[in-house]
Amino acid sequence: MKYDNYDVAVLGCGPAGLSAAINARVRNKKVLVIGADLCSPPLHKAQKIENYLGLPGLTGGELLNRFMDHFEMMEIERTTVKASGIMEEPDGFTVLLGEEVLHARSIVIATGIPYKSTLPREEEMLGKGLGYCATCDGPLYRDKDVLLVGHSDEAEAEARFMAEICRKVYYLPLYKGSWLDDERIQIINERPVEIIGQDFVEGLKVKDGQVYNIDGLFILGGETAPDRLIPGLLIEDKHIKVNRQQETNIPGVFAAGDCTGGPYQVAKSVGEGQVAGLGAARFASRQA
Ligand SMILES: Cc1cc2nc3c(=O)[nH]c(=O)nc-3n(C[C@H](O)[C@H](O)[C@H](O)COP(=O)(O)OP(=O)(O)OC[C@H]3O[C@@H](n4cnc5c(N)ncnc54)[C@H](O)[C@@H]3O)c2cc1C
């Protein structure tokens, strides 16, 4: 068998997963991080991070490199095979990794937002004028034209925020109900069909053929519930339900970062990752 027994298995190698792994390792635990080749696609695509304490002005890629350097220094094992399932056992958990299985005493889930695309080429245009957090990227679009696609009325607050700083704000709601009434914001009552622009977003085409010329496009609130990697894991409002110790409803399973809910931010992910990593280490010690 390729994989050994671990104290802590961490699913996801974004800011939350890396923070959890480092903190469990500092507690002398045997840790495996399970993640994709490129850790944190969202952070990698962020044009500039202005709000991470002590490291202002780095691109998302640069900040991720700093995190990865720190992670490498800690000599923690990592695999790029994604986890496909977790099963509870009397003495911990079995994690399925492709054809392989591994055993861990405790688990940290830090898998970010599982996102289902609203538009074709969305993944390709992420960070090239397309984003999922208007309040994060807003300052980049000061005095420019933006269009926000809202999957729920929660997106309306972001539209109002953008109206304070942008030249023109279009809002395209994808839900039924009363939409925001704000003279600064133009409502588009159509289905979005196509992103216009190759290297950068230049416009959005809607179903009746009209093209709205814009500098930035935001798709908000379209996240789907985290995969139920573990049967019985409690989900609330599309996110994994945790308490302040980052414990889920399953003893020994912790969760951190975007998968537990907003704000979808690096600092929040790193902080939750720390609490989850320390909790998972403590749980593993009790099982030993
Ligand atoms: C364009 C853009 C701009 C942003 N700007 C800012 C900003 O200015 N400031 C800020 O604080 N935040 C910003 N963010 C948000 C920030 O990037 C996220 O909040 C942060 O990356 C979340 O970290 P995470 O570890 O929870 O999840 P992620 O970074 O999403 O990492 C999750 C990881 O889990 C992996 N994974 C998923 N499923 C599995 C599985 N089954 N098994 C193993 N691994 C799995 C994924 O491949 C991924 O590597 C921005 C995001 C975007 C997209």
* CATH number of the domain that residue 142 is part of: 3.50.50.60
Q: Which of 201, 220, 239 is the last residue of a domain?
A: 220
Q: How confident is the model at residue 123 (pLDDT cuts 50, 70, 90)?
A: confident
Is residue 270 located within the same domain as residue 129? Answer: no
Kindly state the helix (H) or strand (E) to which residue 31 belongs, with its residue range.
strand 31-34
The pLDDT confidence band at residue 114, using thresholds 50, 70 and 90, is low
Please give the number of the atom of ligand 1 that sits closest to the Cα of 263.
Answer: 19
Number of domains in the chain: 2
- The whole-number pLDDT of residue 124 equals 87
Kindly state whether residues 199 and 149 are assigned to the same domain.
yes
Ligand 1: residue whose CA is nearest its atom 31:
14
The mean pLDDT of 5-19, rounded to a whole number, is: 97
Does position 225 have pLDDT exceeding 50, yes or no? Answer: no
- The backbone region for 261, taken as left when phi is positive above 0, alpha when psi lies in -120 to 50, beta otherwise, is left
Spatial contact of 252 and 8, defined as CB atoms under 8 Å apart: no
239 and 98 part of one domain: yes
Show Cβ contacts of residue 260 under 8 Å, excluding neighbours closer than 6 positions: 239, 240, 241, 242, 246, 272
Predicted confidence at residue 211, as pLDDT, reads 98
Residues 66 and 195 occupy one common structural domain:
no
**18 plus 110 within the same structural domain:** yes
Q: Are 270 and 132 part of one and the same domain?
A: no
Tell me the mean pLDDT in the region 123-134. Answer: 85
Query: Whose C-alpha lies nearest to ligand 1, atom 17?
Result: 43
C-alpha of residue 268 to centroid of ligand 1, in Å: 11
Claim to verify: residue 215 and residue 126 sit in the same structural domain: yes
How far is the C-alpha of 49 from the C-alpha of 61, rounded, in Å? 10
Residue 132 sits in the same domain as residue 204: yes
Range of the structural domain that residue 181 is part of: 122-220
Model confidence at 83: pLDDT above 90: no
- pLDDT value of position 4: 83
Domain-terminating residue out of 167, 195, 220: 220
Which ligand 1 atom minimizes the distance to the CA of 229?
41
Q: Are residues 212 and 231 in the same domain?
A: no
Which of the 8 DSSP states describes residue 223?
Answer: B
pLDDT of residue 258 exceeding 70: yes
- pLDDT tier for residue 81 given thresholds of 50, 70 and 90: confident
Residue from 271, 246, 284 nearest 19 by CA: 271
1 CA distance to ligand 1 centroid (A)?
Answer: 31
73 C-alpha to center of ligand 1: Å? 21
